[in-house]
Structure formats: structure tokens, C-alpha cells
Amino acid sequence: MLIQSDYHIHASFYRVKGTEADSRPTAAEQLEAARNAGTVYVGIVEHCNDSPKHPFYCLEELAEEYYAPAFPRENVFLGVEADLKDDGSDFCGREGRKKLGLHYVIGSVHNSPKSGNTVEEYIALEHKRITNALKYNTNINFIGHPFGEGHRWERSGDIEKWHWGLIPENYIEDILRSARESGKALEINRPRFDDPVYLDFLKRIRDDKIFFEVGSDAHRANEAHAAAADRTKKLEELGFQEEYHWRAVK
């Protein structure tokens, strides 16, 4: 049995808002939604990067909500989703982590065709950042949605179909090996259970005893939280063991 956890839930209230009326969720609202979806261990995050939408003070406000005396913190953790740089370092850093009182840092790659990159350039970029982060960055705990941005090139019409067969085999091998050697976890997020190459990747995580984390990436209280239950169930069917299910510690 896997215990349902979800450490990738966005408290999207804590970002610079557009001009349009917005009612994005606070940490408390996301916690309630996660509990309603049956999640036992809950991790609340927001982005940490150089986007004008995500200045550091927004993360400080999120930390304030989390550490307010009345906030129920049992089995609830505070993290950030930090963008990775080419050398594998992250936008939060040790200092940011300490300042915010974080329990964990997710290292993610965000890229889209708008950056001017081809899908091949994106794949190479993601491989480089993830591998370097796994090898050299001791500030991060797991990799968010590995190769989860590829679908954007399909959506923009740049490629006909995004699938994991587009990723060179040695890239996938590097990531699996670096994850295993570092003890850091890989996130199951934006999964493609019907993609045979992705399914092989999952089986390698399982068989090579690599830590894994299940994330919904829910940005709103009324959407995506059920993904944690669905993905956990799917992994259970595939024979994943709780022993290697990543857990945050305080």
C-alpha cells in the first residue's frame, strides 16, 4: 500500500496578480482541497524563479500563512518549486530555504516554444539542468515533472506529437543513474502512462530503487487534486513500494 501524498500543490494566491479579478487559493484552501482528495502528507509550494510574477516577498507571505499560530501544520509541509539553472543550482538557494523555513525544495525546468527553443534544444536543456542538479545541488530534494514541458511543443504545433521516444536514451539513463546515486527523488507528474518509453522509465525507477514523489501540480482548489489519488493508485498497480516513496521531514 502506498500512502497518498502530494508535495506539489501551489498556493497560487501568492503571486503578483494580473488586472483581471482573481480568486486563487491560499495555503489553507489548498490544504482543505488536498484533504478532501484523501491526501495524507500535504506539501504547499509556490514558484521561485526570476519571473516578475514570483518575487521573493510573495514566498515570504506564503511562509507567514504557514507559520501563523492557527495554521494546522501536522503532516503539512512548506516547500518551493525553484527553477534550475544550467549548472544545476536553483533560484532559491540555501539562504532562501533557510529564510523561508522550508522543508524541501523542488528543482524544475520550465521552458516553452516562446523561448525560441526547438523541442530538441528544450530536451537538451532539461537533461543538462536535471543531471547537474542531481549531481551537484544539495539544496534540492526532488526533480519536478521531468520532461513535463515537451507537450508545449505539441500544443504550439511545432511537432505533431510529444512522446518520450524523442528523448535520447542516454539522457534518460543519466537521469536515472544520477537520481539513484544522489538519493534524490524523481517526481511522477504530467505522467504518460500510455507512452511505452515513459512506462519503461517508471519501471526503472521502481526496479532501481530510486526515490519517487507523486505530485498533482494543482494550481486551484477545485482542480487537479484528484490526480494525486489516481497517480498513486497507478503506481501501486505497477508495484511501487512505500519504502522508496519520498517523504518530507521537519
Between 43 and 176, name the residue whose CB sits nearer to Zn ion: 43
**Pattern 58-87, binding to Zn ion, x per CB under 5 A?**
-----------------------x------
Task: Indicate the DSSP class of residue 187.
Answer: E
Between 21 and 137, name the residue whose CB sits nearer to Zn ion: 137
Q: Which amino acid is residue 34, in one-letter code?
A: A
Helices (H), the chain: 27-36, 56-67, 93-100, 119-136, 151-155, 169-182, 196-207, 226-237
Between 83 and 176, name the residue whose CB sits nearer to Zn ion: 83
Say whether residue 108 binds Zn ion (CB under 5 A): yes
* Minimum gap (Å) between residue 111 Cβ and Zn ion: 10
Helix, strand or coil for residue 8? strand
Q: By C-alpha distance, which of 219, 215, 214, 227 is closest to 26? A: 219
Q: Which residues pair with 212 in a beta bridge?
A: 186, 245
Residues between 22 and 41 that touch Zn ion (CB under 5 A):
none
Number of residues in contact with Zn ion under rule CB under 5 A:
3
Between 19 and 52, name the residue whose CB sits nearer to Zn ion: 52
* Minimum gap (Å) between residue 152 Cβ and Zn ion: 12
**Pattern 179-218, binding to Zn ion, x per CB under 5 A?**
--------------------------------------x-
CA atoms within 13 A on the CB side of 131: 14
Classify each residue of 47-76 as buried b or exposed e, where b means 16 or more C-beta atoms within 10 Å of its C-beta.
bbbeeeebeeebbebbbebbeeeeeeeeeb
* Minimum gap (Å) between residue 10 Cβ and Zn ion: 6
**From CA 126, how far away is CA 147, in angstroms rounded?**
7
The answer for residues whose C-beta is within 8 angstroms of residue 245's C-beta and 6 or more apart is: 2, 3, 5, 211, 212, 213, 214
**Pattern 213-242, binding to Zn ion, x per CB under 5 A?**
----x-------------------------
Say whether residue 46 binds Zn ion (CB under 5 A): no
Between 89 and 108, name the residue whose CB sits nearer to Zn ion: 108
Interface with Zn ion by CB under 5 A: which residues?
81, 108, 217
